[in-house]
């Protein structure tokens, strides 16, 4: 089945820890995105990537890092510099048709 | 000024009525426009996309785009209780792949 897979579904982070969220797609899409969603809010763009080995900061990149070493993969690291990381994180990918499709999300909680 | 602004909700409509959702945007370089539906705790799913000025109909949904007024809307005809969700407006720029979302409008359809 073609699609976007995010893992894990739930993630708990201790204060001062870095954690990495996985996003993999087998849709052969060029562009990939990471968004953060807080309760009752819309989607805020963290990072996005048009092609392999290239990515751009979104609107709230501070405290996050990404890599794009393979077309299929776009992992997001939430660093200890992100002081309020508890949120729902969504990964999306976009092909030539321009429509973006989303993974099922990762719910991150600081404990 | 936010890139994408949606009419504030929540919006409550009776079953069978028309729900009207509005979205304005600031970047005239925006090329592609999307409406997503998001149920509570789930990831967004694409309802409609529109690239050209005018109307586009798909079943009970109609998207309208007016690039001169920087305005895009979504009409839901014959609203059903299953349409109760948050609706997100999104746009993609023509010069890169940045995909930005509005804050969303929550719609409740009363049976």
Chain segment B11-57, per-residue pLDDT in tens: 999 999 999 999 999 988 778 999 999 999 999 999 999 999 999 99
Q: What per-residue confidence (pLDDT) applies to A97?
A: 67
Q: What are phi and psi of A62, to 5 degrees?
A: -60, 130
Question: Length of chain A, please?
Answer: 111
Does residue B58 belong to the interface with chain A, where contact is any CB pair within 8 Å? no
Which of A30, A42, A94 is nearest residue B99 as measured by Cβ atoms?
A94
Tokens representing B111? 């049976």
Scanning B75-94 for CB atoms below 8 A from A yields 88, 90, 92
Chain A residue with CA closest to B104: the answer is A42
Task: Please state the rounded mean pLDDT for residues A39-43.
Answer: 89
- pLDDT given at position A1: 58
Is residue B9 less than 8 Å (CB to CB) from chain A? no
DSSP strand pairing (B105-110 vs B11-14): parallel
Which chain A residue lies closest to B9 (C-alpha atoms)?
A40
Going by pLDDT thresholds of 50, 70 and 90, the confidence category of residue A16 is confident
How far, in Å, are A98, B93, B97 from residue B28 at the CA level?
A: 18, 9, 15
């Amino acid at each position: 089945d073609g699609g976007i897979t995010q893992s894990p579904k739930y993630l708990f982070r201790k204060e001062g820890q870095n954690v990495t969220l996985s996003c993999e797609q087998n849709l052969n899409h060029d562009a990939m995105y990471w968004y953060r969603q807080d309760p009752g809010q819309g989607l805020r763009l963290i990072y996005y990537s048009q092609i392999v080995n290239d990515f751009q900061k979104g609107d709230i990149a501070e405290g996050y890092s990404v890599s794009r070493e393979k077309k299929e993969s776009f992992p997001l690291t939430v660093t200890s510099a992100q002081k309020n990381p508890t949120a729902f994180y969504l990964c999306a990918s976009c092909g030539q048709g321009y429509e973006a499709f989303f993974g099922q999300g990762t719910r991150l909680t600081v404990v | 000024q936010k890139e994408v602004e949606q009419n504030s909700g929540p919006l409550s409509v009776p079953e069978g009525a028309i729900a009207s959702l509005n979205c304005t945007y600031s970047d005239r370089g925006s090329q592609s426009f999307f409406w997503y539906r998001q149920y509570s705790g789930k990831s967004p799913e694409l309802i409609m996309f529109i690239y050209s000025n005018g109307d586009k109909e798909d079943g009970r949904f109609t998207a309208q785009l007016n690039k001169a007024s920087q305005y895009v809307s979504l009409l839901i005809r014959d609203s059903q209780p299953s349409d109760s969700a948050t609706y997100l407006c999104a746009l993609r720029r023509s010069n890169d792949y940045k995909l930005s979302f509005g804050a969303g409008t929550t719609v409740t359809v009363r049976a």
